[in-house]
C-alpha cells in the first residue's frame, strides 16, 4: 500500500480529517459535525464546530453522549459502549472510495436506545459491510435523555432531533468529498432511531436532504408534552432544583444521569411509564409527524422501507422476568394493556379468540406491538403515494425466550453476526443466508429504491424474513388490525391510533 492508502485524508467544511483503511474500505471516526453541547451551549440548539488547522486524526470513535447504563438484566443482551469526553456531536464514515467523483449512494444511520441510551460505536453498527457493497455509510451520535429531549420553559425543545438535522446538513455539505452522492441519501434507524427518522423526513427544515428512509421497529410519532414535562419534574425533584434549563445546566452531569435513571426505572414500552420523546414544537416538529406524512404532504418523493419483528415485546418482557409476571397477573395485565393502547374490551377479546393458544403475556405483547408499530406503519404505508415496502422479521433467537425480539434483526441488516455483540441477542449459529438476504435488500433499497419485493398496495404485501428463503405474504395480521378499525368506529376517531415506542 502507498502512504495515501494507509491514511486516507478528506477535507470537510471545518477542516481535513485522516482516516484508516480497514477491511478494504476507508473509515473515518469521530468527526465533529457540531460543537460540544456543554457550558453555555447546554440545552441549546447545535452550532457548527470550531474549524481546525492541519489534519485531524479520525481513527477512533468520538465521545458518546451522556447516558445512564443499562440495567444488569438488559446489559446481558444489549451492548452500549461509553467513550468519555464533551465532543459528543460526532459521526463516522465508511466509504469504499474516498474522494469526489464516485457519487455513491449514502446511508445515514440513527441508533436506537429509547432516546436515552445507545451510540454510533455499538459494534453491531459497523458500516464496513455497506461500504464493501458500494454504499457510503454514516453513523451519528446525538444528545440523549434530558440533555436531548428534556422539555423546559426556557429552552427550545427536541435538541437531540436538532442534532440529527445538523448531521444531515453536514452530510449534504460534506459527503461528496467522501465519495457519496448528496442527492442519494437514505436516512435510517431502528426503534428510537426510526422514530427520529420519521420526524426528520416530516420536518420542513429537512426537505431535500433525504431521498429515501428506513424505519425499523419504530413509527413516526409525537409524545405528549405533559408526559415529558412530568419526566423532567421527576428528575428536578430528585435533584432539588427548579425544572428549568438554566437550573439543569448547572447540575453535575453524573448526578443528573443518576436521577434520570431513577426517574425512568419503571418505564417500559409494554407497561408505559415516564419517558422522553419527540414533541410538537411549532418549529422543527410543527405537527404530529405521522399526520404530516400521511395527510400533510410532507416528504414528497421520499420512498420508504419499514417493518417490525414478530415478537418485539419479548426484549421488553424477558429480561428481569417480566414475561412470567405478566402471565401471572392475567386479567389485570389485560386491563392494563387495554388502557395502555386506548382500546375497548372487544379488541382484547378478539385477540384471545384469534389466538386461543396464546398466554396473557403474548396477548399483551402483541396488542402493544400492534398499537406501537403495526397500526401506525400500516397507516403510513396506506397514506403515501410514493413507493413503500414493508417487511416482518420472524427468525427466532437461539437464546431461550427471546423469539423474534426487538433489535434482533440488526445483526442481519448489518451482516455483523460475526461480532460478539450480535450474538448477545441471536446466540451462536445464526444463519448467514438470512443476513445475506436482509443486507442485500437494504443495499438495494439505498442504491435503487427497490429492496426486491412488491411495493405496498391494497393487498398489503409484506416480505417475511426467516431462516428459509424470504417470501412475500399478503394481509399478514390484517385480522388483528381490523379489530382496531372496528373499535375506532365505536370509541371515536383516533382510538387505538396514537403510538409511543421506547426502545
Among all residues, which ones are annotated catalytic? 191, 312, 406
Pairing mode, strands 104-110 and 180-190: parallel
Pairing mode, strands 461-465 and 388-393: parallel
Quick one: cell of 267? Answer: 418505564
Q: Give every strand in the sheet of 212-216, ordered side by side.
A: 20-22, 25-32, 90-95, 136-140, 104-110, 180-190, 212-216, 303-309, 388-393, 461-465, 471-474
- Positive or negative, the Cα torsion across 404, 406, 412, 417? negative
CB 131 within 8 A of CB 137: yes
Quick one: cell of 394? Answer: 420472524
Rg (CA), the chain: 22
CB 43 within 8 A of CB 146: no
Q: Nearest CA to 142 among 52, 34, 240?
A: 34
Quick one: cell of 3? Answer: 502512504
Q: CA-CA distances (angstroms) from residue 367 to 115, 215, 417, 480?
A: 23, 20, 30, 9
403510513: which residue's cell? 380
Q: CA-CA distances (angstroms) from residue 226 to 52, 229, 232, 352, 435?
A: 42, 5, 10, 34, 42
Q: Give the integer Cα–Cα distance in Å for 236 and 233.
A: 5
Amino acid at each position: 500500500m502507498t502512504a495515501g492508502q494507509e491514511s486516507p485524508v478528506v477535507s470537510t467544511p471545518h477542516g481535513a480529517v485522516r482516516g484508516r483503511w480497514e477491511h478494504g474500505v476507508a473509515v473515518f471516526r469521530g468527526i465533529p459535525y457540531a460543537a460540544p453541547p456543554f457550558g453555555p451551549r447546554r440545552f441549546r440548539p447545535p452550532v457548527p464546530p470550531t474549524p481546525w488547522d492541519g489534519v485531524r486524526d479520525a481513527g477512533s470513535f468520538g465521545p458518546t453522549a451522556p447516558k445512564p447504563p443499562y440495567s444488569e438484566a438488559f446489559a446481558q443482551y444489549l451492548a452500549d459502549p461509553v467513550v468519555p469526553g464533551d465532543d459528543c456531536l460526532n459521526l463516522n464514515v465508511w466509504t469504499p472510495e474516498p474522494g469526489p467523483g464516485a457519487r455513491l449512494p449514502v446511508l445515514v444511520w440513527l441508533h436506537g436506545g429509547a432516546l436515552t441510551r445507545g451510540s454510533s460505536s455499538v459494534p453491531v453498527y459497523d458500516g464496513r459491510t455497506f461500504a464493501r457493497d458500494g454504499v457510503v455509510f454514516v453513523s451519528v451520535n446525538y444528545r440523549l435523555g434530558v440533555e436531548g429531549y428534556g422539555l423546559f420553559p426556557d429552552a427550545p425543545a427536541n435538541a437531540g432531533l436538532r442534532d440529527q438535522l445538523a448531521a444531515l446538513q453536514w452530510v449534504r455539505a460534506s459527503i461528496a468529498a467522501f465519495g457519496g452522492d448528496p442527492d442519494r441519501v437514505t436516512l435510517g434507524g431502528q426503534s428510537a432511531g426510526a422514530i427520529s427518522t420519521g420526524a426528520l423526513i416530516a420536518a420542513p427544515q429537512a426537505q431535500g436532504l433525504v431521498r429515501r428512509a428506513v424505519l425499523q421497529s419504530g413509527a413516526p410519532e409525537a409524545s405528549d408534552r405533559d408526559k415529558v414535562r412530568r419526566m423532567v419534574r421527576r428528575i428536578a425533584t430528585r435533584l432539588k432544583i427548579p425544572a428549568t434549563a438554566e437550573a439543569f445546566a448547572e447540575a453535575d452531569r453524573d448526578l443528573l444521569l443518576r436521577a434520570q435513571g431513577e426517574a425512568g426505572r419503571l418505564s417500559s414500552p409494554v407497561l408505559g411509564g415516564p419517558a422522553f420523546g419527540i414533541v410538537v414544537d411549532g418549529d422543527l416538529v410543527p405537527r404530529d409527524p405521522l399526520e404530516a406524512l400521511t395527510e400533510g404532504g410532507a416528504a414528497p418523493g421520499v420512498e420508504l422501507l419499514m417493518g417490525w419483528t414478530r415478537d418485539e415485546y419479548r426484549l421488553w418482557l424477558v429480561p428481569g422476568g417480566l414475561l412470567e409476571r405478566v402471565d401471572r397477573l392475567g386479567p389485570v395485565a389485560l386491563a392494563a394493556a387495554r388502557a395502555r393502547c386506548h382500546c375497548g374490551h372487544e379488541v382484547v377479546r378478539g385477540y384471545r379468540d384469534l389466538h386461543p393458544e396464546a398466554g396473557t403475556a403474548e396477548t399483551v405483547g402483541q396488542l402493544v406491538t400492534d398499537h406501537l408499530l403495526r397500526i401506525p406503519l400500516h397507516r403510513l404505508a396506506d397514506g403515501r403515494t410514493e413507493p413503500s415496502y414493508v417487511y416482518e422479521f420472524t427468525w427466532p433467537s437461539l437464546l431461550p425466550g427471546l423469539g423474534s425480539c426487538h433489535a434482533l434483526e440488526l445483526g442481519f441488516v448489518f451482516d455483523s453476526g460475526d461480532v460478539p455483540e450480535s450474538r448477545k441477542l441471536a446466540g451462536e449459529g445464526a444463519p448467514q443466508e438470512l443476513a445475506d438476504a436482509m443486507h442485500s435488500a437494504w443495499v438495494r433499497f439505498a442504491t435503487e429504491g427497490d429492496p426486491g419485493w412488491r411495493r405496498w398496495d391494497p393487498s398489503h404485501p409484506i416480505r417475511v424474513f426467516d431462516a428459509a428463503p424470504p417470501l412475500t405474504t399478503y394481509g399478514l395480521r390484517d385480522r388483528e388490525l381490523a379489530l382496531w378499525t372496528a373499535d375506532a368506529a365505536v370509541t371515536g376517531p383516533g382510538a387505538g391510533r396514537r403510538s409511543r415506542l421506547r426502545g
